[in-house]
Amino acid sequence: MRLPELIRVIDRRVQRALRRVRIGGVRGVISRVEALDAGQKLKAAVTGLVGPNDTEQTRPARVVQHYGLASYPKADAEAVVLPIAGRTASGVIIGTEDPQYRPVLSEGEVVLYDHLGQAVQLNDDGTIDVAATGDLRLNNGATAVAADGDSCVHSLTAGPYTVTGSITVRSIRNVKVPS
């Protein structure tokens, strides 16, 4: 084997080894999601950017979420994979987002939303907007309240109930509803 060819072989092997050990995270697009343990855990495969013009399909990585919040990301959502101990093979997904469904917010606002346009939005003026594509149900034991469009259908079987201020049924602002 000639020296230039030997150098190319060594370079390819070094590059392959470096791809397996990574200090920083990988940002990419989810290609598939699988539910484990009857949906209690999720794993997702991500096609990520690992170099200037180089992508890599990761092994399915565990989707780690914040306590009290659970979501099932759709394929084509963006994700950040953090390699544990520098190994992509033992990575975890620490964040997902799908910009095509993300509402536009003002500074300080918070929203919980999905791909159907349903949302609960905490606004910067102290109001809370709730948008549902179907009935809106508030359940507490045998108590249920449902809003359908602008008419309010209600069934209250326990009480008393006190409302201070007003309740307005209206569409939520800035939420994109897919066509």
Model confidence pLDDT, tens digit, residues 78-120: 999 888 877 767 789 999 999 999 999 999 999 999 999 899 9
Cβ proximity of 75 and 33 under 8 Å: yes
For residue 95, list its beta bridge partners: 80
Q: What pLDDT sits at residue 134?
A: 75
Q: What would the two tokens of residue 134 be?
A: 């179907």
Domains parsed from the chain with CATH numbers: 3-97 (2.40.50), 100-179 (no CATH)
H-state helical runs in the chain = 3-20
Q: How many CA atoms lie within 13 A of 4 on its CB side?
A: 0
Start-to-end CA distance of the chain, whole Å, equals: 61
Mean pLDDT, rounded, of the chain:
77
Q: What is the pLDDT of residues 6-20, one digit of tens each?
A: 888 898 888 877 766
